[in-house]
Chains A and B, each alone.
Chain A
Amino acid sequence: MNPLVLWFHKLGSPPTFYRLAGRLLPWCYGLALVLGAVALYGGLVLAPSDYQQGDAFRIIFIHVPCAWMSLFVYAFMAVNGFIALVWRIKLSETLAMAAAPVGAAFTFVCLVTGSLWGKPMWGTWWTWDARLTSELVLLFLYLGVIGLHQAIEDRRQAARAAAFLALVGIVNLPIVHFSVTWWNTLHQGSTVRLFGPSLIDARMLWPLLTMALATKFWFAGSLLSRARVDLLELEGGKDWVRQVALAADAAPAPPPEASA
């Protein structure tokens, strides 16, 4: 068998993933911190003041990356949910469910920082325009997925039901993204474009993109950390978990009971 394919299949095994995730974790967080520091320096110190919004625009370096992450994590959750429903891969179930709280956190930060940015700029903490409403709906979808996952006893069935719900809600993703073009919104339109020039000064763009990358690595770190814990819980009775638990215990471990 092709070694790459073999490695990919091995990755689906919980103990292998647990070990790999443990090794990747510090790198993810480390990269996130370094990139974040660079982005913050660029955004808070180097970038010039906006001619319209003054220094309040600097919230963009937090608000926009969190908004992007809220959508990205939902897509990640939905893709893994699809894999979990179709191919019943345990690891996909775990990754999908581990991503949900992180995505909800990013959505929450996006909404709160947006509100804090809206008060001085628009004069209001909240408005029911298409972008804000659909982002709030996204938060409720995340909370629904988390709630459903916690409500079902059988962990694997819970993950599949919650994954199904996540897939039902995927229709909200294009709504959030295109809300500023499809409707008349108070929220400004897209300025950062994937194809073609962006409508934002380069000195503001690079800290924004760097911070977006930093939040991606932070998400990866948080995801791997949560996935590891979820795997420990899911596989509680298995031998590899026992070895991990005994190794993690500081006191000398008692000899395992001889099987009767």
Chain B
Amino acid sequence: MSDFFAMGGYGAYVWASYAVFFVVLAAEAVLPPLKRRRVLAGLRGKWKRAQRREGSAP
């Protein structure tokens, strides 16, 4: 098992590479849904404000 992590002495380079890969790809998967939630919340807020404005104006 420790041989696997040591990777013949190159462990730091190999696992650093894999870490960069996983982090970047995970970010690619996670960031768009977060943005989607933000965008939808922003739109809902905008509509509520528009409704309030239309409701109060004669």
Contacts from A to B (Cβ < 8 Å): 29, 44-45, 49, 54-56, 58-59, 62-63, 66, 101-102, 105, 108-109, 112-113, 116-117, 119-120, 218, 221-222, 225-226, 228-229, 232-233, 236, 241-242, 244-246, 248-249, 254, 257, 260
Q: Given A245-B44, A257-B51, A257-B54: A117 and B17 within 8 A (CB)?
A: yes
- Residues in B with CB closer than 8 Å to A120 are 10, 13
Question: Which B8-49 residues have a C-beta within 8 angstroms of A?
Answer: 8-10, 13-14, 16-18, 20-21, 24-25, 27-29, 32-33, 35-37, 39-40, 43-44, 46-48
Assess the B14–A59 pair: CB atoms within 8 A.
yes
Q: Can you offer 22 A-B residue contacts whose CB atoms are under 8 A? A: A29-B29, A55-B9, A63-B17, A105-B24, A108-B24, A116-B16, A116-B20, A119-B13, A120-B10, A221-B29, A225-B32, A228-B32, A228-B36, A229-B32, A229-B35, A232-B39, A233-B39, A236-B46, A245-B44, A254-B51, A257-B51, A257-B54
B10 smallest CB distance to A (angstroms): 4
Assess the B17–A54 pair: CB atoms within 8 A.
no
Assess the B10–A54 pair: CB atoms within 8 A.
yes
Give bound CA distance, A77 to B44, whole Å: 31
Give bound CA distance, A153 to B2, whole Å: 55
Give bound CA distance, A105 to B51, whole Å: 41
Q: Name the 7 nearest CB pairs between A and B, nearest first.
A: A55-B8, A56-B10, A225-B32, A55-B7, A54-B8, A113-B17, A222-B28
Give bound CA distance, A76 to B41, whole Å: 31
Give bound CA distance, A232 to B43, whole Å: 9
Using C-beta atoms within 8 Å of the partner chain, give the interface range for chain B.
20 to 34
Assess the B28–A105 pair: CB atoms within 8 A.
yes
Assess the B29–A116 pair: CB atoms within 8 A.
no
Contacts from B to A (Cβ < 8 Å): 4, 7-10, 13-14, 16-18, 20-21, 24-25, 27-29, 32-33, 35-37, 39-40, 43-44, 46-48, 51, 54-55
- Residues in A with CB closer than 8 Å to B47 are 242, 245
Q: Given A108-B24, A218-B25, A225-B33: A62 and B17 within 8 A (CB)?
A: yes
